[in-house]
Amino acid sequence: MTMPNALHVVHDVKETDLAAAELAAGQFLQALGISTESESMRGTPGRMARAYAELFSPRPFELTTFPNDEGYDELVLARNIPLRSVCEHHLLPFVGTAHIGYLPGHRILGLSKLARVLEHFACRPQVQERLTKQVADWLQTHLDPQGVGVVIQAEHTCMTLRGVQAIGATTTTSTLLGLLRTDGRSRGEFLTLTGMPG
């Protein structure tokens, strides 16, 4: 188990070759028969490269935890955290919200870190199931709480804007760990507060 550490900086180090990405984006558009000769589209390959680089670049953050001096042992839940990620099958966005909660143990987490952990795992080609589990597992490892719950609801544009074009369809995934999985009262409270049927 990784011990909580207030000075731990979470950062994905990754090389991004924007020039190569811009060249490839131009060739990609050309292969699709889309001309980039007009003044307004001349910069499009570069914009595409920078846009995807941004979608795949999570902001580094400091993992701040505090001692749970009062022995608070009820649910801490951040609801409606905005989510944007990119599906790994089509590289199209999926967008929605996440509800992330935990039952504290010896430490509590700076609240904003719940959203930052989500961003950390969302800024890469993803599937919603893996994203949900990665956020929950990360919190379990770094905070060692009594329980963790993550619910994500998202619209996958690869499913709504193309392909089957199921406009308005959303997908819900959840991961419950520790007491939020095994203790009926805690589980029920979490699911009620996140709007999930028990």
In angstroms, the Cα distances linking 190 to 25, 148, 152, 177 are 44, 10, 13, 12
Minimum CB–partner distance for residue 92 and Zn ion (Å): 5
Minimum CB–partner distance for residue 161 and Zn ion (Å): 10
Burial code (b: 16+ CB inside 10 Å, e: under 16) for 31-64 equals eeeeebeeeeeeebbbebbbebeebbebeebebb
User: Rule CB under 5 A: is residue 84 a binding residue for Zn ion?
Assistant: no
* Gap between the Cα atoms of 133 and 87, Å rounded: 15
76-87 and 65-67 beta bridge pairing:
unpaired
User: Rule CB under 6 A: is residue 124 a binding residue for ligand GTP?
Assistant: no
Contacting ligand GTP (CB under 6 A), which of 10, 23, 158, 193? 158
50 binds, among ligand GTP, Zn ion, none (CB under 5 to 8 A by kind): none
Closest-by-Cβ residue to Zn ion is 158
Comparing CB distances to ligand GTP, the nearer of 79 and 89 is 89
Question: Tokens 């819900």 appear where?
Answer: 172
Q: CA angle at residue 175 from 80 to 150, to 5 degrees?
A: 20
Q: Which residues ranging from 55 to 94 are in contact with ligand GTP (CB under 6 A)? A: 87, 89
* Gap between the Cα atoms of 185 and 189, Å rounded: 6
Contact 147, 100 (CB under 8 A): no
Which one of 2-10, 25-33, 38-46, 127-135 is the stretch in contact with ligand GTP (CB under 6 A)?
127-135
Lookup: tokens for 3: 């011990």
User: Rule CB under 6 A: is residue 163 a binding residue for ligand GTP?
Assistant: yes
Contacting ligand GTP (CB under 6 A), which of 17, 54, 73, 129? 129
User: Rule CB under 5 A: is residue 90 a binding residue for Zn ion?
Assistant: yes
158 catalytic residue (yes or no): yes
User: Binding residues for ligand GTP, per CB under 6 A?
Assistant: 87, 89, 127-129, 156, 158-159, 163-164
Instruction: Write out the residues near Zn ion by the rule CB under 5 A.
Output: 87, 89-90, 158
